[in-house]
Amino acid sequence: MVETYIITPNYNGEKFLEKYFDSLFNQTYSNFRIIFVDNSPNNNSIDYINQNYYNEVKSDKIKIIKNPENYGFAKANNQGINESFKDSKCKFIVCLNNDTEIKEDFLEKLISMAEKRPKTGSIQPKMIWGQNPDLLDSVGLEYSKNGLGFNRGAYKSSDEYNEEEEILGCCAGACLYRREALEDVKLEGEYFDEDFFAYYEDFDLALRLRWASWSAWYCPDAVVWHYKGGTNEPTSDFTVYYNWRNYTWTLWKNMPLSFLIKNSYLIIICEILQITLNISRGKSTIIKSKIDAYKNLRKIIKKNKSIKKKISFENLEKCFILKWKV
């Protein structure tokens, strides 16, 4: 009986795989399988796995899904989740980036908290910046009234945030989702919204889980080191396009019209700042990002009407902050 499945999308991440796999196979909890979804244009990562983890592949401890092209972070995770759910015994999904290294009791701590809190839909570990372990990468998600999403605790001392606490939602770079919760908020056959491709897809899922009354908790004893920026640089055209397009989509997909009107001045300022700052940095991709965002709003607003909403918006809105930058 396998209760936990690790879902890892990969895009040209061969250099990270030794630390990633070594830390996974050194866990105090061993009742898991890995679904490795490769979006790379080559087979280097798969060749590495077959050469170094042949027995694990043969025994189905590692299952590889090879995509013919880059399907994006959202769809790759969905592929892994769908494969995992073929196993009726699967209770938990752990999304884990390829550029991570986990402490030996990481899985044990996450699953222990999930079992202790059966109404919790997702659990966030303590993510430490791998290249600078004195600083945090994320201890959960924060959502601002201007539509900006933030990694809670980012760049603060890794000695902070040592208490269990309820949070808005979890960063999909490393977190646990309960199967029952994912199935509850599945929308148009998808857990992560595949239209997003990459970026903000975990904010969208976190908001939908909240709408459906699933709580999220932070587990400080589950520790992961994230070597962030391993696949895409934060200032690349790819990041600029998808990040700022999906910023707009997350707002219109998840927020009621009353919220958008009430906070319209904050949202308009934020949209203008995004364009101005990126143009000043030579990132004209921001223009295409915003054109595509608003051109496809009808489809996004249609999804808003299909979101399962079990709580009042007032209960969701009280989780929001007002913040402009890290």
3-state helix vs strand vs coil in the chain, percent to 5: 40, 20, 35
Residue 231 has pLDDT above 80, yes or no: no
pLDDT at 235 (0 to 100): 75
Together in a domain, 55 and 176: yes
Measure Cα distances from 103 to 108, 129, 213 in Å. 10, 14, 30
Residues 107-136 have a mean pLDDT of: 97
Q: Which domain holds residue 287?
A: 237-317
Residue 191 token pair: 């857990």
Measured distance CA(204)–CA(246) in Å, rounded: 9
Tell me the three state secondary structure of residue 33.
strand
Which amino acid would we find at residue 25?
Answer: F
Domain count, the chain: 2
pLDDT average, residue stretch 260-287: 97
* Residue 62 binned pLDDT confidence (cut-offs 50, 70, 90): very high
Q: What was the pLDDT predicted at 266? A: 98
pTM over the 0.85 mark: yes
Bridge partners of 127? 138, 224
Q: Which of 66-80, 92-106, 148-162, 232-246 has the lowest average pLDDT?
A: 232-246
pLDDT at 234 exceeding the cut of 70: no
Across 245-263, average pLDDT: 98
Looking at the fold, whether 220 and 242 belong to one and the same domain comes out as: no
- Percent of the chain whose pLDDT exceeds 90: 96
Shared domain check, 188 and 59: yes
Helix axes 237-254 and 297-304, enclosed angle (nearest 10): 40
> Average pLDDT of 68-95?
97
Do 138 and 222 belong together in one domain? Answer: yes
Three-state DSSP state, 64: strand
CATH of the domain at 24: 3.90.550.60
pLDDT of residue 232 exceeding 80, the answer is no
Mean local confidence (pLDDT), 34-58: 97
pLDDT of residue 2: 75
Q: Is residue 215 part of a domain?
A: yes
Are 216 and 297 in a shared domain?
no
Q: Tens of pLDDT along 181-197?
A: 999 999 999 999 999 99
Residue 273 has pLDDT above 70, yes or no: yes
Four-point Cα dihedral 316, 91, 191, 8, nearest 10:
120
